[in-house]
Structure 1
Amino acid sequence: MVAFESLLERDALYLFEFSPAVANIQEQPFKLQYACGDVVRRYTPDFALDLHDGRTVIVEIKPENKLLQADVAESLRCIEAAFMRQGQVFRVLSDLTIRTQPRLANLQQLYPKRRCPLPETIVFAIQHLAVSPSRPHTLGELANALGNHLLALQAVAHGAIGIDYSVALGPRSQVFWSGEEVCHGLDYL
């Protein structure tokens, strides 16, 4: 995982790590000088997200209560205007977006499963199941087909199988196969 300075940033990293749109994550990628009124200030973004479509999204993480402060809101408006002049996309994510449940709990549960590589035998089994007329439709059915609940979770964590992260993860969670439409609940960019 990329370095973070707060627990809210750590939780945002779960979103970025699991987003199918994000190719690369950079923490504090650069410094920006920007004007806010008659004052020139410096700003360091929390993250830059390189997306698979070639775009880069600059991200600031702030607790919602900070965003309600007039001085913070004004600074962020000036920063956004500076990025717009440069043709860059700037997003501010708050705890209201980042800590949406059960999505965050699902990502936290799945993240440790990404540390272990998905065994080739399981990749092959998933490819075989994907074309089977009796392919599994739930996480529980997938666990039964693979012979192990942990392997089913690993398959989800590695993106070999899709799920809707906005629904609590459990044996009845619907699974999505390659090519199927999936509402992954990670559309914050």
Structure 2
Amino acid sequence: EQPICISYRCGGRMRRYTPDFRFSWDDGREWYVEVKPRSRAHTDENQEKFAEIERYFDGSGAKFVLLTEVELKHPHRLHQVQYLLSKIPSDSAYEDPQIASAWENRDQMTFAEAEELLGSRLRVIEGLARRELACDLTQPIEAHTAIRLFREDDDVALFI
């Protein structure tokens, strides 16, 4: 919580900023997170400020993430993330080699297709939980849900 204070230039002046949170991932990545009401986050002044802050963190190798109540309180996403987090296998470092080979020549497939290729619903769910796979978490996960290999940009929607 409020991990550091940085100095950045915006509007021709030096300013100070303290992010709300820092997330340190096991793989060494760091995210600095700001939480703001949507009405304040999207003002012209704050858009300019957050763009400069994002440039600062990009330059240091970290990621800046702005979250509003839309991201934090989305009813389907919140339920989906809680469910997936409960399904992370005890050895979360384990990767399923069959997942990458199943997607070798495909951008995506349905949940039902992935379940058939991997042999069980649980393996697809664990792939989503371990961040090997990704899908739209704003909708319930069903047989027709499009599943794809995980991309780094999927982290924002999945784990925060």
The TM-score normalised by the length of structure 1 is: 0.49
Q: Contact (CA 8 Å) 2:89, 2:126: kept in 1 or not?
A: no
Counterpart of 1:30? 4
1:24-173 equivalences in 2 (<5 Å): 27-30=1-4, 45-48=19-22, 58-62=32-36, 88=56, 92-117=66-91, 123-131=96-104, 137-173=109-145
Q: 2-side partners of 1:30 and 1:183: how far apart?
A: 24
Larger radius of gyration: 1
- 1:91-147 CA-to-partner distances (Å, cap 9, x unmatched) read 653323321242222212111223433696x722223322378x9821122223322
Point out where structure 1 has 5 or more consecutive residues left out of the alignment: 1-26, 34-41, 68-72
- Percent identical residues: 22
Contact 1:118 1:158 in 2 (8 A): yes
Matched, 1:174 2:149: no
CA RMSD of aligned residues (A): 4.7
Unaligned stretches of 5+ residues in structure 2? 8-15, 58-63
- Aligned partners of 1:119 and 1:93: how far apart in 2? 27
Deviations 1:57-110 (A, max 9, x none): 642335669x6xxxxx9xx96xx59x959x646765332332124222221211
Distance 2:56 2:108 in 1: 42
